[in-house]
Amino acid sequence: MGKIEAKSKEEKLRQQKEAEAKRRAYRDSKKELRQMQKEVKFDSDDNPELPKKRFYRQRAHSNPFSDHRLEYPRSPETMDWSKLYPHYFDLETKKMTSEVEIADIGCGYGGLLINLAPEFPDKLLLGMEIRVQVTQYVEDRIIALRNQHKNEVQNNYQNISVLRGNAMKFLPNFFHKAQLSKMFFCFPDPHFKQRKHKARIITNTLLSEYAYVLKEGGIIYTITDVEDLHNWMVKHLEEHPMFERLSKEWEKQDKCVSIMWNSTEEGKKVTRNKGSKWVACFKRLPTPDDCE
């Protein structure tokens, strides 16, 4: 390697290190605030700005099979939801007044949650995301929104939260049978190569878990810009005995479909690039008597 080449490589490395140090310092400054504000029931007077996404960037893919040392409850009964939804914790009874009903699986930067929040003011919505820094960004975004809207009785973002988790491993640890009414799978990682298909978030085995946590009549929403992945998801859902596809007419009249189409960060990117989007929605069928 020539001297000039080595020097420019060194310089590039130095710049990369400097940028990472800057990002880390920004996230650390938010960390203290996050820990203080995440669990407060009564809002403070601070009015934090919305976090800046560029300080939370992380590799696009995370291996769902690796051991991420994730925290998860032994069972749904042992999960402490009061930290995520402090406004829904009754200090007298020491119980939650509501439970999560809507889940955004692989929520990314949280756009869908934030747009769904005012549409479902009496329901709790949860984003589950495997990447640490992306989860932290959503946490900081929600804290900022809660503070900015603290004087509003409704639409104050107290009904949305996020947790770091691997939806392919621990869903039944968080949700009891028939708890959810809606599950969203928006622009899931496509895992293009054949040998990686097993890492896709819709598989036969996982669908049985989703059917377990969904109520009868509950909905699975899927959207992607990868036609092959769309066909894969449709095929697996159609083959599964607990799901039935909803019609295009149904999709047209459902408000969540249009929110899902327009509000996720990945979906906005696809729109900007004039790409195509494929949607499929499925209803969770009643459990046959002999399986109860």
**Residues making up the binding site for S-adenosyl-L-methionine:** 106, 129-130, 166-167, 186, 264-266
- Tally Cβ neighbours within 10 Å of residue 125: 25
Nearest alpha carbon to residue 240 among 213, 215, 209: 209
Instruction: Extract the tokens encoding 129.
Output: 């995301």
Cβ atoms of 154 and 131 closer than 8 Å? no
Tell me if residue 290 is catalytic. no
CA atoms within 13 A on the CB side of 259: 17
Q: What is the nearest approach in angstroms of ligand SAM to the Cβ of residue 261?
A: 11
Question: In the complex, what is the shortest distance from the CB of residue 201 to ligand SAM, in angstroms, rounded to a whole number?
Answer: 6
Could you tell me how far CA 143 lies from the centroid of its own chain? 16
Q: Answer whether 231's CB lies under 8 Å from 245's CB.
A: no
We find the least distance from the C-beta atom of residue 81 to ligand SAM, in angstroms, to be: 18
Q: Is 129 in a helix, a strand, or coil? A: strand
User: Which residues are part of a known binding site?
Assistant: 106, 129-130, 166-167, 186, 264-266
Q: C-alpha angle 45/111/59, rounded to 5°?
A: 105
At 87 the three-state DSSP class reads helix
Distance CA 280, CA 215 (A): 18
Task: Name the site residues for ligand SAM (rule: CB under 6 A).
Answer: 62, 64, 106-108, 128-131, 134, 166-168, 186-189, 201, 264-267
Considering the candidates 67, 189, 254, 290, report the single residue annotated as catalytic: 189
CB of 156 within 8 A of CB of 192? no
Per-position b or e across 179-204, b if 16+ CB within 10 A of its CB: bbbbbbbbbbbbbeeeeeeebbbbbe
Least gap, CB of 111 to ligand SAM (angstroms): 6
Whole-number minimum distance, CB 13 to ligand SAM, in Å?
27
108/218 with CB nearer ligand SAM: 108
Q: What are phi and psi of 238, to 5 degrees?
A: -65, -35
Half-sphere exposure of 54 (CA within 13 A, CB side): 3
Separation between Cα atoms, residue 215 and residue 79, nearest integer Å: 20
The residues annotated with a catalytic role in the active site are 189
